[in-house]
């Protein structure tokens, strides 16, 4: 197949949601359609032998959450879909945020009873910063939920995003009858179907069809007529341009658990979601998708496979055809490297790939070479916009169980920090050990576990009362005119850790010449 055909059939996306909205369930159904897995319950290794891949860390099993994250690839109706796995647990939000830098679109998954929740808001902001097109899928329609109009208003008020219904629910909870499909004027009837089967469609003749009259009570039919009237006359019509610009969001209703509305959503998704496209460069200009091979690393992960103790760098291909064994420039290291054993995930299987295309995610075995943001290029040295770091919100000090293990500790912490698990801050004026920061607390548990098992360096962690880090532009504040703790990050950038917003504001007021940034430049 030609390069351009391969690109046009690809869709690379992530699901953003609050924990429990049903992301795992939805992912599982999508994989079932593609045949990438053959039974429910295989994702996240909830049962059976399928979970060997994700048991690289005991924490994951102990807490029953997924801390590994990559991308899964599957095919459906001639399309190749790369679904970026975004850990649902809020403590892993920094990884989740970063996955969005590799996505071309996102699906915002809402629980119909809860609407927009905290984690959804945070993730939405990142998707918006990248101007990603956003689909909205309202889940759990088989349970009582909020009025659809209320959800539409909420999305608009919070995000300034116009949600435009593509389908519309009829009834809710135990009275849920199905969804009205605006494009066809038909009804998808809610019945519990086996995985992979489509819902029954009724009402070829529109709302006056006898089939529909038999299905709905007169009150339900009247309500539906009113709702259709509202959609057609009050809400803006769907506009693909507005969607691609991130201003409109096509809205779908369904129930992932009951496999209702999922296939229909997937088909609409494939038709509307953008294929991989050019990516802007840091110094202006952009890389076109059909340029020679380029890719950037958005995630580094250690020891996914206990037997191998390897580190994997996940790189999103931006342009060109990738072929196994090809040479590419590692731009930061200014060195040409041979890409020999890249792998991808298909469902739960990890396989070596021979070729790959823009939008695909390569897992590169990494002997300590790759960092987040690194670029691989067969098109000469170039840099994409930086993969953002997020300001930590939790901080700890560490003590070593064995004070003689300082060297091993520093090496371990540096390596793990390069993967983006934690951030390292050195108190100004000298200290034997750094303060560590993370977006979520669970990241410290991961660090602690890995220091012990991989670097034989058990540590004791003590929470610190800081709530935020701000990086300084313009030097250090005047002595005795600041609150908080002066630190340098691992690159030597000056920063301050603050215990609260009052400290930050007051320090800013007393040092008007300094600029405070919430991530390093």
Q: Which residues are annotated as a binding site for GTP?
A: 17-24, 85-89, 139-142
Question: How many Å apart are CA 272 and CA 297, to the nearest integer?
Answer: 27
- Helices 442-455 and 406-418 cross at an angle (nearest 10°) of 130
Q: Which lies closer to ligand GDP via its Cβ, residue 189 or residue 257?
A: 257
Three-state secondary-structure class, residue 477: coil
Q: Which lies closer to ligand GDP via its Cβ, residue 24 or residue 301?
A: 24
Please state the closest distance from residue 260 (CB atom) to ligand GDP, in A.
7
Question: How many Å apart are CA 398 and CA 277, to the nearest integer?
Answer: 44
99 closest CA partner among 300, 265, 329, 277: 300
Q: What's the number of CA atoms in the CB half-sphere (13 Å) around residue 74?
A: 23
Q: Which lies closer to ligand GDP via its Cβ, residue 345 or residue 482?
A: 345
Please state the closest distance from residue 190 (CB atom) to ligand GDP, in A.
11
Q: Which lies closer to ligand GDP via its Cβ, residue 22 or residue 115?
A: 22
Please state the closest distance from residue 309 (CB atom) to ligand GDP, in A.
29
Q: What's the number of CA atoms in the CB half-sphere (13 Å) around residue 267?
A: 6
Q: Which lies closer to ligand GDP via its Cβ, residue 40 or residue 382?
A: 40
C-beta of residue 250 within 8 angstroms of C-beta of residue 166: yes
Could you give the maximum distance between any two Cα atoms of the chain, in Å? 82
Q: What's the number of CA atoms in the CB half-sphere (13 Å) around residue 484?
A: 27
Three-state secondary-structure class, residue 249: strand
Residue ranges binding ligand GDP (CB under 6 A): 17, 19-25, 88, 139-140, 142-143, 255-258
Question: How many Å apart are CA 275 and CA 292, to the nearest integer?
Answer: 18
C-beta of residue 400 within 8 angstroms of C-beta of residue 459: yes
Please state the closest distance from residue 447 (CB atom) to ligand GDP, in A.
24
Tell me the binding residues: 17-24, 85-89, 139-142
Please state the closest distance from residue 261 (CB atom) to ligand GDP, in A.
9
23 closest CA partner among 139, 179, 114, 146: 139
* Count of CB atoms situated within 10 Å of the CB of 128: 15
Question: How many Å apart are CA 199 and CA 141, to the nearest integer?
Answer: 14
C-beta of residue 427 within 8 angstroms of C-beta of residue 487: yes
Please state the closest distance from residue 491 (CB atom) to ligand GDP, in A.
35
Q: Which lies closer to ligand GDP via its Cβ, residue 24 or residue 73?
A: 24
Please state the closest distance from residue 43 (CB atom) to ligand GDP, in A.
8
From residue 24, give the alpha-carbon distance in Å to each of 56, 59, 86, 177, 453. Answer: 19, 19, 10, 24, 29
Please state the closest distance from residue 120 (CB atom) to ligand GDP, in A.
11
Q: Which lies closer to ligand GDP via its Cβ, residue 127 or residue 326?
A: 127
Q: Which lies closer to ligand GDP via its Cβ, residue 255 or residue 443?
A: 255
């Amino acid at each position: 197949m030609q390069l351009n055909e391969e690109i046009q059939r690809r869709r690379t996306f992530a699901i953003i949601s609050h924990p429990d909205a049903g992301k795992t369930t939805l992912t599982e159904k999508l994989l079932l359609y593609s045949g990438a897995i053959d039974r429910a319950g295989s994702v996240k290794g909830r049962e059976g032998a399928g979970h060997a891949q994700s048991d690289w860390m005991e924490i994951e099993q102990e807490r029953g959450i997924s801390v590994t994250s990559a991308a899964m690839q599957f095919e459906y109706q001639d399309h190749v879909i790369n679904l970026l796995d975004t850990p649902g647990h809020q403590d892993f939000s920094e990884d989740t945020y970063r996955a969005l830098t590799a996505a071309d679109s996102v699906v915002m998954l809402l629980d119909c009873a809860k609407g927009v929740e905290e984690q959804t808001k945070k993730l939405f902001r990142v998707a918006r910063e990248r101007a990603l097109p956003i689909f909205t899928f309202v889940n759990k329609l088989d349970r009582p939920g909020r009025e659809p109009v209320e959800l539409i208003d909420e999305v608009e008020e919070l995000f300034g995003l116009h949600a435009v219904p593509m389908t519309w629910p009829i009834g809710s909870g135990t009275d849920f009858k199905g969804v009205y499909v605006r494009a066809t004027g038909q009804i998808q009837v809610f019945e519990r179907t086996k995985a992979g089967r489509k819902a029954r469609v009724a009402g070829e003749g529109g709302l006056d069809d006898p089939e529909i009259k038999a299905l709905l009570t007169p009150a339900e039919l009247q309500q539906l007529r009113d709702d259709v009237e509202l959609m057609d006359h009050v809400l803006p019509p769907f506009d693909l341009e507005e969607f691609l610009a991130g201003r409109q969001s096509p809205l779908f209703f369904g129930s992932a658990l009951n496999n209702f509305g999922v296939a229909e959503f997937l088909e609409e998704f494939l038709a509307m979601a953008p294929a991989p496209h050019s990516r802007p460069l840091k110094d202006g200009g952009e890389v076109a998708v059909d340029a020679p091979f380029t890719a950037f690393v958005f995630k580094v992960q250690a020891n996914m496979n206990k037997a191998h103790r390897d580190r994997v760098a996940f790189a999103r291909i931006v342009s060109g055809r990738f072929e196994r064994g090809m040479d590419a420039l590692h731009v930061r290291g200014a060195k040409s490297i041979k890409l020999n054993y890249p792998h991808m995930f298909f469902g739960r299987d990890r396989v070596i790939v021979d070729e790959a295309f823009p939008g695909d995610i390569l897992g590169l075995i990494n002997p300590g070479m790759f960092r987040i943001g690194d670029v691989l290029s067969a098109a000469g040295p170039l840099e994409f916009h930086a993969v953002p770091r997020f300001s930590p919100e939790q901080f700890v000090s560490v003590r070593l169980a064995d004070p003689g293990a300082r060297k091993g500790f520093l090496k371990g912490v540096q390596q793990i920090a390069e993967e983006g698990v934690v951030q390292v801050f050195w108190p100004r004026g000298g200290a034997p050990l750094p303060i560590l920061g993370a977006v979520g607390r669970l990241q410290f548990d991961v660090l602690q576990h890995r220091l012990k098992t991989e670097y034989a360096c058990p540590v004791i962690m003590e929470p610190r009362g800081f709530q935020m880090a701000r990086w300084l532009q313009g030097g250090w504040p005047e002595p005795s005119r600041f609150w908080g703790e002066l630190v340098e990050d691992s690159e030597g950038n000056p920063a301050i850790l603050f215990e609260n917003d009052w400290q930050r504001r007051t320090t800013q007021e007393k040092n008007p010449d300094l600029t405070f940034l919430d991530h390093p430049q």
